Amino acid sequence: MKPRVLSGIQPTGNLHIGNYLGALRNWVKIQYDYESIFCIVDLHAVTVYQKPEDLKAKIVELAGLFLAAGIDPKHSMVIVQSMVPGHAELAWLLTCVTPVGWLQRMTQFKAKSEEQETIGSGLMQYPVLMAADILLYQAKVVPVGDDQSQHLELARDIAQRFNSLYGDTFVMPETRLPAVGARVMGLDEPEKKMSKSAPGSGHAVALLDPPEVIRKKIMRATTDSNPAVDFEKAGPGVVNLLAIFQAFSDWPDDKMKAHFSDMRYGDLKKQVAEMVETSLDPIQRRYREITSDPGYLDGVLRAGAERVDPIARSTVELVKGRMGVYTRG
């Protein structure tokens, strides 16, 4: 049997090229090597307030983008977290073995809680729910961007703690970072990772941005005071633009250096914009095709939930049994 892979994305904001290069594109590449489960993590999204009608629409949009990017629903299981009760159930059981101090240390929790007036306790539990997503399916491999490494480490700590308290139960998940594109930075603020929830219309290129919007955002990207590309002295903005081009083109380092050294920033930006536009064009076209059939995505999500449910139920029963919680048997 193939080992299992699991990863997820929140249905918040607009999916951007960071999410694509850091996560989605790698899912597409590896999906046939594994028994693959790709999850729309709406229970994670509600750790901060979401307008209900927007959230529903975003869930379906994200499912469409998964498929448009190349996830094959005949092979991979595409699911919505809230459709499978095991995620929330296991999250509670794991919460009970997770020390608060572990959660307070999480850098994402610290950063996100600074942005909120009141911090919901769900925001602190976010990584426990993520551990539950992974451990529910005994996933061996979890492909994520670099920003999720700390959460993955925590998922392993939780699994280890559970195993040592109640006996061997969980498979230890491994983090799989992409070789390039692990951390795409904001176009306007290249010291910060590109993020769906960041304010600013020039921050991120969304996968569904029209070509003229992509061009405008990239042409306005922050660079530095050098006149042209110098690989030794380039500031974070230029490094980011080069990294985006390299991730989309798959060019090796020596080709990048030969092509871009001494190129003026205006020309660099034009070439990056063109590369991003041509790479996103087939995804956008497939997205329009997929969403032209209104019932199709709902069917894919229902079928995904049905396929994973028996796996989820059996893990929850196993965990309950280990903890001595009453089970239906």
Catalytically active residues, by annotation: 112, 193, 196
Structure tokens at 136: 């529910």
Q: What angle do CA 318, 323, 327 make, to 5 degrees?
A: 55
Q: Which of 5, 6, 9, 131 binds ligand AQP (CB under 6 A)?
A: 9
Under rule CB under 6 A, residue 173 binds ligand AQP: no
Under rule CB under 6 A, residue 31 binds ligand AQP: no
Under rule CB under 6 A, residue 197 binds ligand AQP: yes
Task: Show Cβ contacts of residue 114 under 8 Å, excluding neighbours closer than 6 positions.
Answer: none
Element (H, E) at 307: helix 296-323
Structure tokens at 162: 């559970």
- Among candidates 304, 291, 272, 289, which has minimal Cα distance to 21? 272
Under rule CB under 6 A, residue 194 binds ligand AQP: yes
From CA 209, how far away is CA 18, in angstroms rounded? 14
Tracing tokens 């899912």 back to the chain, one arrives at: 27
Of 195 and 222, CB closest to ligand AQP: 195
- Chain positions 125 to 154 lying near ligand AQP, rule: CB under 6 A, are 144-145, 147-148
Under rule CB under 6 A, residue 174 binds ligand AQP: no
Under rule CB under 6 A, residue 211 binds ligand AQP: no
**Local structure of 13: helix, strand or coil:** coil
Under rule CB under 6 A, residue 19 binds ligand AQP: yes
Quote the least distance from Cβ 20 to ligand AQP, whole Å. 8
Of 207 and 319, CB closest to ligand AQP: 207
- Among candidates 216, 156, 218, 210, which has minimal Cα distance to 184? 218
From CA 220, how far away is CA 190, in angstroms rounded? 12
Under rule CB under 6 A, residue 18 binds ligand AQP: yes
Quote the least distance from Cβ 12 to ligand AQP, whole Å. 4
Under rule CB under 6 A, residue 10 binds ligand AQP: yes
In the chain, the N- to C-terminal Cα span, in Å, equals 26
* Angle of the 211-219 helix axis to the 265-291 helix axis, nearest 10: 150
Of 239 and 318, CB closest to ligand AQP: 239
Contact region with ligand AQP (CB under 6 A), list: 4-12, 115-123, 213-221, 256-264: 4-12
323, 83, 21, 123 alpha-carbon torsion, rounded to 10°: -60
Of 15 and 300, CB closest to ligand AQP: 15
- Among candidates 87, 24, 94, which has minimal Cα distance to 308? 87
Under rule CB under 6 A, residue 22 binds ligand AQP: yes
Under rule CB under 6 A, residue 196 binds ligand AQP: yes
User: Which backbone phi and psi does 49 adopt, to 5 degrees?
Assistant: -55, 135
Instruction: Tell me the CA distances in angstroms from 86 to 138, 177, 328, one per residue in order.
Output: 13, 27, 14
Contact region with ligand AQP (CB under 6 A), list: 182-190, 217-225, 239-247, 316-324: 182-190
Of 8 and 162, CB closest to ligand AQP: 8
Contact region with ligand AQP (CB under 6 A), list: 19-27, 29-37, 118-126, 240-248: 19-27
Q: Which residues bind ligand AQP (CB under 6 A)?
A: 9-10, 12-13, 18-19, 21-23, 144-145, 147-148, 181-184, 193-197
